[in-house]
DNA sequence: CTGCCTGCAAACTCTTTGCACGAAT
DNA sequence: ATTCGTGCAAAGAGTTTGCAGGCAG
């Protein structure tokens, strides 16, 4: 999904909900899609303000649910009392996160077997899965030796 | 691991760290092991105070890391800005959580394949897994029809 | 015009911390 | 006796909300 596709999706979602397309909401959208890495609400605020300095923290927090609800943004909670966000380039993919406990980077890894797990739970327990998350906290072997995580390229790794 | 085993393990852990075995710490331990379900820090405080009313909120928060560090308690973060705790009856088991989005209950399900996932990540990406979590949010099919979740018995289900 | 949307700041929730007193060893 | 542990209350981090004014439709 391109940024332009996402923008249309977001505007359509707003319209469908009877919500207004304001400069602030668009600035927040643009700020989100200008990020390369996972970002926090506070970082999103800073980037949105660089685009439109009238954006307030409250509006960022009020807009995030709409971005997530429209499917253009994904929320990632890694258990740090702080949520991370990421443009959702493929909303149908099942992804796991690998969190480097040394450098705090978050890697997204395609994990299609998660759907299998969901349906297994479903059939065995009489549950209807809504969402799943699989996260691995790990030490980065190359970090200690090389001083940097060399796994940035692993983002699209499939397991 | 029985409650008595856990108590010994906790006391041993405290002693090994040069920490004191105080009435409050024991009261908090007993309160934790008197719970049948997952509980929050606030609930633990209430139960600990029922045993020893001198226990303060601060001491609960200061004791929780020791309970977890000694392996008698497990922390479960389901992304609700609120942590849950659970007596750790088998510290070697790989467990996933199924969270009912209707009744907020948390079910623990043995998921041994998670170790396979961890080692796969390890070998493919050059990472050393520290911990893993797998959580499924789901609707409880029987909740709407029967009015209650019928999956309490599923706690020990293995997938 | 109408009423949703906004910024501001205060409120809120959960957790952590500084301090002086108290208790375990 | 010493040192660690404690309760209290205030601080802290992240997020939410009430309010009066502002702008999209």
Quick check: A60 and A45 in contact, CB under 8 A? Answer: yes
Q: Are both A21 and A82 inside the same structural domain?
A: yes
Over 70: is that where the pLDDT of B148 sits?
A: no
Distance, in Å, from the CA atom of B86 to the CA atom of B72, rounded to the nearest integer, reads 9
Residue nearest to nucleotide C23 (CA to C1'): B22
Q: How many CB pairs under 8 A join A and B?
A: 113
How large is the average pLDDT for residues A56-81?
94
Rg (CA), chain B: 17
Q: Do A141 and B150 touch (CB under 8 A)?
A: no
A24 is near strand D: CB distance < 7 Å: no
If you average pLDDT over every residue of chain A, what do you get? 86
Say whether both B147 and B121 belong to one domain. yes
Whether B138 and A130 have beta carbons less than 8 Å apart is answered as yes
* In contact, B106 and B151? CB cutoff 8 Å: no
What are the start-end ranges of the H helices in chain A? Answer: 3-16, 23-33, 41-51, 57-69, 113-125, 141-146
Domain carrying residue A67:
3-87
Please indicate, yes or no, whether residues A123 and A74 belong to a single structural domain of this protein. no
Same domain, A55 and A120: no
* pTM, full prediction: 0.86
Q: B44: pLDDT confidence band, cut at 50, 70 and 90?
A: very high
pLDDT score recorded for residue A44 = 98
DSSP string, B107-138: EEEE-THHHHHHHHHHHHHTEEEEEEEEEEEE
Same structural domain for residues A67 and A107? no
Instruction: With CB atoms and an 8 Å threshold, state whether A136 touches B127.
Output: yes
- Nearest CA to B57 out of B66, B44, B68 is that of B44
- Considering the domain architecture, whether residues B66 and B131 belong to the same structural domain is answered as no
Give the domain-ending residue among B42, B64, B87: B87
The CATH number of residue A9's host domain is 1.10.10.10
Q: How far apart are CA B151 and CA B96, in angstroms?
A: 15
User: What CATH number is associated with residue B134?
Assistant: 3.30.1490.190
Same domain, A107 and A135: yes
For residue A148, the model assigns a pLDDT of 57
The share of chain B scoring above pLDDT 70, in percent, equals: 87
Which nucleotides in chain D have some atom under 7 angstroms from a protein Cβ?
A: 4-9, 13-18, 23-25
Domain end position, chosen among B35, B67, B87: B87
My answer on whether B9 and B83 are in the same domain is yes
More confident residue, B122 or B10: B10
- CB–CB of B126 and A141 under 8 A? yes
Gap between the Cα atoms of A141 and B21, Å rounded? 38
Is residue A125 located within the same domain as residue A148?
Answer: yes
CA distance B126 to chain A (A): 6
Say whether both A11 and A72 belong to one domain: yes
For residues B12 and B55, state if they share a domain: yes
Total domains present in chain B: 2
Which range, of A23-37, A121-135, B6-20, B44-58, averages the lowest pLDDT? A121-135
Give the residue from B58, B87, B116 where a domain finishes: B87
> How does pLDDT run across A90-106, given as a tens digit for each residue?
767 788 998 888 777 88
CA separation, residue B91 to residues A53, B37, B69, B88, B115 (Å): 51, 17, 11, 6, 14
Determine the pLDDT at residue B30: 97
Are B107 and B144 in a shared domain? yes
């Amino acid at each position: 999904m391109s940024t332009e596709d996402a923008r249309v999706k977001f505007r359509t979602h707003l319209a469908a909900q009877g919500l207004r397309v304001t400069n602030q909401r668009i600035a927040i959208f643009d700020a989100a899609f200008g990020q390369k890495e996972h970002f926090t609400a506070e970082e999103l605020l800073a980037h949105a303000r660089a685009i439109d300095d009238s954006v307030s923290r409250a509006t960022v927090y009020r807009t995030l649910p709409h971005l997530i609800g429209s499917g253009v943004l994904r929320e990632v909670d890694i258990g740090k009392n702080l949520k991370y966000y990421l443009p959702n380039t493929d909303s149908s993919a099942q992804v796991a996160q690998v969190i480097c406990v040394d450098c705090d980077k978050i890697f997204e890894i395609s994990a299609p077997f998660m759907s299998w797990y969901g349906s297994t739970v479903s059939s065995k327990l009489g549950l209807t899965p809504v969402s799943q998350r699989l996260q691995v906290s790990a030490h980065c072997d190359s970090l200690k030796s090389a001083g940097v995580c060399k796994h940035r390229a692993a983002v699209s790794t499939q397991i």
